[in-house]
Amino acid sequence: MKKEWDTIEVLRHERHDWMNKLQLIKGNLSLNKVDRAKEIIEEIIMEARQDAKLSNLRLPQFASTLLTCNWESHHFQLEYEVMDSQIFHRLDDQLLTDWTEQLFETLDSSIEPYQENHLSVTIEPQEKGIGFFFDFSGIIKDKNRLESFLDQKPGNMMKIISDGVVEGELTIEVFMETL
Amino acid sequence: MKKEWDTIEVLRHERHDWMNKLQLIKGNLSLNKVDRAKEIIEEIIMEARQDAKLSNLRLPQFASTLLTCNWESHHFQLEYEVMDSQIFHRLDDQLLTDWTEQLFETLDSSIEPYQENHLSVTIEPQEKGIGFFFDFSGIIKDKNRLESFLDQKPGNMMKIISDGVVEGELTIEVFMETL
């Protein structure tokens, strides 16, 4: 199920993404929109900082899953934000990753493909663990499937604090205890 | 000996390299040197094209070795160029990679660290195989070690066509037959 990324493939996708960003800067410069080009550069730097923060969470499998998600043919676009924190937790990376991949799979089979489907993940380190907030907006076609996935208990160290599915909107709040 | 790169590490290095490039563009824009910024973008695009051509040679291990080489703590900087070609060969990727890694190792132990050491690799697909031209310039401190490495036959499908070590300069021409 899970694609194992090799170095060449990772670099190929990454190169493709960066070329797109560079073309955007180049395009604005050739239209003499220097200020817009500068803004785009700042946006790219902010995004890269999120990637760096995600990579520094000491959750290598979970971070890989998020970092490569938009290269896989999912029916949604992923974005993420990692809140600043000085606290470092050791979590069950495998459990978190397995659950997240199951969520992605369930989403793929519950939403309408080729629509404006967005999944936003906010990661918030707290005192006794890390909170994960999943916000989906888009076209949900199988609410029941999502609900039955959410009815399953993820595991001992991981709890679904709250969840809600309404038309076109899904929110899940997950808390994962430190090991 | 060989470091196995994982996704997180590959992306970390790649992000670092791209951030440096972006800072260069940003720096020039903030000095109002828009033309220089455009030139830098063109140079980056050319480099990325070389990476793409290298990745398309169907030599995944060899390409990975070259693409990640500057992230390892070698005593030289690597650059490469892949000549345009419509010919695609199936080569012994493992043999080529093993030999190239041995060359890198031999170089590391034969040259003066912290100097301006550069290794340039030109890859030229030909009718019956691919030619590889290795050009080193820098400070060689152990000519004998390099020569004894070059005296070894790489393998049946791979031949050292010519080589030469003179002060501060090493050139090796290798030809690899199609399988």
Cα B173 to the center of its chain, rounded Å: 14
Q: What does the block give as tokens for B172?
A: 């090796």
Question: Is there a contact between A92 and A157 (Cβ–Cβ < 8 Å)?
Answer: yes
Interface contact flag, A38 B22, Cβ < 8 Å: no
The secondary structure of B97-159, three-state, reads: HHHHHHHHHHHHHHECCCCCCEEEEEEEECCCEEEEEEEEECCECCHHHHHHHHHCCCECCEE
Confidence band, pLDDT 50/70/90 cuts, at residue A4: low
Determine the average pLDDT of the residues in A39-57.
Answer: 96
- For residue B5, the model assigns a pLDDT of 74
Confidence band, pLDDT 50/70/90 cuts, at residue B87: confident
Which one of B4, B5, B8 would you mutate to disrupt binding with A, by most A Cβ within 10 Å of its Cβ? B8
Gap between the Cα atoms of B100 and B94, Å rounded: 10
pLDDT higher than threshold 60 for residue A29: yes
pLDDT tens per residue, range A51-65:
999 999 999 999 999
Q: Is B1-55 CATH 3.40.47.10?
A: no
Nearest-by-CA chain A residue for B55: A8
CA distance A70 to chain B (A): 14
- For residue A96, the model assigns a pLDDT of 97
**Facing B10 at nearest CB: one of A7, A22, A63:** A7
Q: Please give the angle made by the CA atoms of A164, A170 and A175, to the nearest 5 degrees.
A: 70
Instruction: Assign a CATH topology to domain A59-177.
Output: Heat Shock Protein 90 (3.30.565)
Question: Is there a contact between A125 and A89 (Cβ–Cβ < 8 Å)?
Answer: yes
Determine the average pLDDT of the residues in A63-74.
Answer: 95
pLDDT higher than threshold 70 for residue B161: yes
pLDDT tens per residue, range A86-142:
888 899 999 999 999 999 999 999 999 999 999 999 999 999 999 999 999 999 999
Question: Is there a contact between B142 and B108 (Cβ–Cβ < 8 Å)?
Answer: no
- For residue A156, the model assigns a pLDDT of 87
**Facing A12 at nearest CB: one of B8, B55, B68:** B55
pLDDT tens per residue, range A80-102:
999 998 888 899 999 999 999 99
Q: Is the dihedral of CA B81, B52, B78, B86 positive or negative?
A: negative
What is B35-57 written as a DSSP string? HHHHHHHHHHHHHHHHHHHHHTT
Which one of A11, A33, A56, A66 would you mutate to disrupt binding with B, by most B Cβ within 10 Å of its Cβ? A11
* Average pLDDT of every residue of chain A: 94
Gap between the Cα atoms of B94 and B116, Å rounded: 30
- For residue A87, the model assigns a pLDDT of 84
pLDDT higher than threshold 50 for residue A1: no
Residue B94 identity (one-letter amino acid): Q
- Residue A161 CB burial class (10 angstroms; 0-12, 13-18, ≥19): exposed
Gap between the Cα atoms of A163 and A165, Å rounded: 7
Gap between the Cα atoms of A123 and A95, Å rounded: 16
Q: Which residues contact A63 (CB under 8 A, 6 or more apart)?
A: A54, A55, A57, B8
Question: Is there a contact between B178 and B129 (Cβ–Cβ < 8 Å)?
Answer: yes
pLDDT tens per residue, range B21-64:
999 999 999 999 999 999 999 999 999 999 999 999 999 999 99
Domain boundaries, chain B: 1-55, 59-177
What is the arrangement of strands in the sheet containing A169-177, beginning at the earlier edge strand? A77-82, A118-125, A129-137, A169-177, A158-166
pLDDT higher than threshold 70 for residue A170: yes
